[in-house]
Structure 1
Amino acid sequence: MLDENKKQEMFNKMKERKGEVKTVRKIVGIIALVALLIIAIVGLAGYSYVTSALKPTDPESNEKVEVEIPMGSGITLISTILEDKGIVKNAQIFKYYTKFKNESEFQAGSYALTKSMTLDEIIESLKTGRVYREPVFTMTVPEGLTLEQVADIVQKNTSHKAEDFMKKVTDAAYVEQLITEYPDLLSEAILKENIRHPLEGYLYPATYPFFEEDPSIEEIIDTMLTAMNTIVSEYTPVLEERETSVHELLTFASLLEEEATAQTDRETIASVFYNRIEIDMPLQTDPTVLYALGSHKDRVLYEDLEVDNPYNTYQNVGLPPGPIAGAGKTSIEAALNPSQTDYLYFLADKEGINHFAKTYDEHLSNIEKYLR
């Protein structure tokens, strides 16, 4: 009788365990099902959101929205502007869409876009440069010009005299005001005693559209500073990592702009300058002598190299006090991404082709070969 009771007790315990196992399995199954439902809902919501963001923000709207794309804007800034204006639903998705479609080369300008436009239509508009209003005139400022040369271009295209433009860009109070307005671009470095012109090298060289017949000098300066600010802001993380100032970057880039005779030479010339700076060897670049002299000459004479001026890199080690001209984006990027070489010398032959050398003897050989 006792054995029967034990058997019954064991049987009852086994039933209880089986019941517990079934209950646990049910709970696990329910949790797994809920998790799958959550994943499905999140995935569906994400898919729905992305799909929605790829569609026009308001398919029924034909209202024109004026959108300004500043000179030198990258896709990140353009995407943010479009989202802020309500032309696209999500800046990140528009950015990724353009990258997926391998679209680039968007043009600066003032656009009339609508919220009913598809992403492809928006991209096409930004690529073709169909502007909202035709500019009254455009003003082209080439790379490598000094402020005084920029002043001459302003005089040719507007009613402003070159001397009035120069008076404005060298006005201490005005420059102080600009430093406050453009804190990421301009610093007190441009006001140092040995700087010839505070804004030298800071007005970005480009072709600018103007939508009024006679813009003020301040508007012209602001337009060009804004363009440079946009360009330089792309490299802020690199400058911070290398502990390099914007002033040093634009100074270095201006030397490349004046020395390079071909786009591919800039990185190599940059390596020469960096190699010389590394060993405290004067840069000895002729454009700084011409800037120190304040005049253009087809040929720099030996006596010119003796001029006592802080911009003369034959007499002073390191970079000059500030930029000597307006550098374009190619030179700015070359200043940040020089070639890795052992070159210390270079010269341009009669056709403007640069030849590089590691030693002074090699350099003398190049002089004999290409210049005599």
Structure 2
Amino acid sequence: MRRRRPSPNDGVPPDDNPTQIFELEEPYDDLYDEEIEGDYGDDDDYGYDEYDGYDDEAGDGERDDAARRDRDRGGLDEEFDEDGFASDDDRAEPAYLPDERDDEEDDTRRGGRGRRMLKWLAALLLLAVLGAGAFFGARELLGFGYEDYEGSGEQDVLLHVEQGDVTGAIAAKLAELDVVASAEAFVKAGEDDKRVLGIQPGYYQVKTKMSGEAAVQALVDEKSRVGHVQIRAGTKLFDVTQPDDSVTPGIFTLLEQASCVRLNGEEKCVSADELRETADTEDLGELGVPEWAVEKAEQAPKGRKLEGLIAPGVYDVKPGGEAKDLLSQVLTASATRMEAAGLPDSAEAYDPYETLVIASIIELESVKTDFEKVSSVIHNRLEIDMPLQMDSTVNYPLKRPTLTTKSKERDKTTPWNTYAMTGLPETPIGSPSLEAIEAALKPADTDYVYFVKCEENGLSCFNVDYQEHTAARDDARERGVY
């Protein structure tokens, strides 16, 4: 039975880095190889382990020789027991040679610590991002985390809501004006109020430092809207007193009313007189009058230069501003509306300004259903150089117009009296609608040269023959139409 020889490493903990094997010096290698070959024969038949024991069947001499070789190889000075093995007490401690890979592993460990540090930093950053996302998400769901004022506000300010502004854009403007403490305060307060979605473009009088709820209530209240004006078709620049003594405000008066606002106890307005004076003295092109209308509008009598050039419709003007800015805002918008109706591009028989004059007469002489037929009468009379003889043109300069004019009024020469002259009046006689402009551009194809109101709903009877015309007129009078 072969007995295992104790190893010097018995009892020593395993090393993660195995000891490096060094080549021995040449003289020892020769001796070693010679002795091994002499004693043990071929390497292929026996394996050699420097820590394995020797064959027990070998003789004592061989064991002595092996022990001697061990002492020569390791430089060991040991005592052996009777069997030829070194005792445990006297065995030398194992010697470990330095490994060059230790330095490399130190660097690797330092690199590993660096990578671990980067991983920790990345993890902390991810946690921060997730935490921020959770906070903002909770704020959106639960409605906390934004600033909000308390109360109904302090100082008056104006908010301008423009076309296309959504709730978020309105909220941002409110926050910029310090009306609300934050845009979120307004948005959150308006989430359950569908009226917020119906806020129209225009100017609104609000206060600084309002709560989000108070700001919402202010903007959905029609009383908060300022600078809002509606100009109806046929309205003139100046006021008109009706037969029943009621006064129909003219465009200058309507714009004055829209411009008025009381901010922090101070009333601010642009008067009708300021507007008229500005129209008479400023360059019309700079005010916003279309290029095609500037020349003839400049030649109009004082106070009438802008007649017909302010189109009907709804306007939002900045309250408390300057007269020039207000007129420019309105005229620029009007030019766009008239362009949509076909001016100046579609004007053919007459120039754009003359077409505007024709449209103003159509507007005041008939109802919409008859626009194209009345237009045909005007065109037909102009073509044969026949006076238009329209009562609306005689009434234009009068402060108290009537449906049927008196003979003394028809005999009076004015730039607008179409009984006393042929051709078109010098200026439009009111503000024509887009439909009236379209009818002036495209009259009905008729031979009519007469018409008279013959129905209570405003419809007219049209004729080519004068006798038929007078018969229709007399019939309408008898029926009390007018």
TM-score bin, normalised by smaller chain: 0.5 to 0.7
1:298 & 1:133 partners in 2: Cα distance? 37
Identify which of 401, 413, 438 aligns with 1:308.
Answer: 413
Contiguous gaps of at least 5 residues in structure 1 = 1-107, 115-127
Partner of 1:25: none
1:327 aligns with 2:432: yes
Partner of 1:363: 469
Seen in structure 2, the aligned counterparts of structure 1 residues 298 and 345 have a Cα distance that, compared at 3 Å, is closer
What code does the residue aligned with 1:203 have? Answer: I
TM-score normalized by the length of structure 1: 0.60
What is the aligned-residue RMSD (CA, Å)? 2.6
What code does the residue aligned with 2:373 have? Answer: T
**Other structure's SS at 2:428 match:** coil
2:198 & 2:443 partners in 1: Cα distance? 33
Q: Deviating runs (4+, > 4 A) in structure 1?
A: 128-135, 193-196
CA deviations on 1:19-64 (whole Å, 9 max, x unpaired) are xxxxxxxxxxxxxxxxxxxxxxxxxxxxxxxxxxxxxxxxxxxxxx
Contiguous gaps of at least 5 residues in structure 2 = 1-160, 168-196, 205-224, 239-249, 261-268
1:204 & 1:193 partners in 2: Cα distance? 18
Indicate if the aligned counterparts of 2:280 and 2:302 stay in contact, CA closer than 8 A.
Answer: no
Partner of 1:268: 373
**Other structure's SS at 1:346 match:** strand
What code does the residue aligned with 1:111 have? Answer: G
Seen in structure 2, the aligned counterparts of structure 1 residues 162 and 271 have a Cα distance that, compared at 3 Å, is same
Q: Which moved more, 1:355-364 or 1:188-197?
A: 188-197
Seen in structure 2, the aligned counterparts of structure 1 residues 182 and 166 have a Cα distance that, compared at 3 Å, is closer
Partner of 1:43: none
1:141 aligns with 2:141: no
**Other structure's SS at 1:237 match:** coil
Indicate if the aligned counterparts of 1:185 and 1:229 stay in contact, CA closer than 8 A.
Answer: no
1:196 & 1:282 partners in 2: Cα distance? 26
Seen in structure 2, the aligned counterparts of structure 1 residues 245 and 339 have a Cα distance that, compared at 3 Å, is same
2:298 & 2:203 partners in 1: Cα distance? 38
If you compute each CA radius of gyration, which structure gives the higher value, 1 or 2?
Answer: 2
Indicate if the aligned counterparts of 2:375 and 2:439 stay in contact, CA closer than 8 A.
Answer: yes
Partner of 1:200: 307
Indicate if the aligned counterparts of 1:253 and 1:331 stay in contact, CA closer than 8 A.
Answer: yes
Seen in structure 2, the aligned counterparts of structure 1 residues 336 and 133 have a Cα distance that, compared at 3 Å, is closer
Paired-residue identity, %: 28
Partner of 2:346: 238
Equivalences for residues 259-298 of structure 1 within 5 A: 259-260=365-366, 262-298=367-403
2:291 & 2:251 partners in 1: Cα distance? 23
Identify which of 182, 186, 195 aligns with 2:293.
Answer: 186
1:109 & 1:368 partners in 2: Cα distance? 54
Count of residues in correspondence between the two structures = 245
Seen in structure 2, the aligned counterparts of structure 1 residues 152 and 306 have a Cα distance that, compared at 3 Å, is same
Equivalences for residues 55-74 of structure 1 within 5 A: none
Partner of 1:153: 254
1:193 & 1:250 partners in 2: Cα distance? 14
What code does the residue aligned with 1:156 have? Answer: Q
Partner of 1:318: 423
**Larger relative contact order (Cα-Cα within 8 Å, sequence gap ≥ 6):** 1
Partner of 1:163: 273
Indicate if the aligned counterparts of 1:292 and 1:307 stay in contact, CA closer than 8 A.
Answer: no
Indicate if the aligned counterparts of 1:168 and 1:174 stay in contact, CA closer than 8 A.
Answer: no
